[in-house]
Structure 1
């Protein structure tokens, strides 16, 4: 079978799944523009994805419009890997299509931390 005939038979087979390399999705970029944690939750913003963004950005936007989702959940749903997902999410953050949740953790109770330090010090001094 010639290479051209093989390409046609593969393209005509509906069971063939197209595989897109991660660097093709991210246009060769290997680092996101923003530092994103796995548990960072993304909400829909007021911007719109530009025409140069891959179709996965549209999927991310649709998922976040349905309900806020974490970076890890978006990467798992897309199935493209964590770093490429972070890069695509970064692109959407830059375009104001997504906004991160601003959940601030409460300050830890100082008295509890002092008691914990004292207990750990006593435990380690005894051994």
Structure 2
């Protein structure tokens, strides 16, 4: 599937969101899993983890395939705009930061419930 490759030129995590890119031509010899990834991403945006789970393949292998598809511009990384029209952080950005902090610092005190 990946020819033994585990490293990519792209920094992709399991929560990287992907969408179909501008290229509509696939190189010959594309593996079936890459075609399935493109089909899934045409339906809607997907994360690397979701693609791995749906395909039943290891995330590291899916990352390699996704990186290949990014190289050929068949997929692109979806980047949400983190600021609103007033240059203030969006609610989604603040919620993502809070979730990340809670994940990284599970023993931190919750100041809302501190006495």
- Spell out the pairing of 1:1-127 with structure 2 (5 A cutoff): 25-47=1-23, 48-105=25-82, 106=89
TM-score (norm 2): 0.67
TM-score under structure 1 length normalisation: 0.61
Aligned length: 86
Determine which structure has the larger helix proportion and give its number: 1
Larger C-alpha radius of gyration, 1 or 2?
1
Q: Which runs of 4+ in 1 moved over 3 A?
A: 104-108
Map Cα deviations across residues 86-122 of structure 1 (whole Å, 9 max, x no partner).
00000000000001111254387xxxxxxxxxxx8xx
Task: Render the CA deviation track for 1:63-99: whole Å, top value 9, x for unaligned.
Answer: 0001110111001111110100000000000000001
Q: Note the alpha carbon deviations across 1:44-68, whole angstroms, 9 max, x for none.
A: 1121321132111000000000111
> How large is the RMSD of aligned CA atoms in angstroms?
2.0
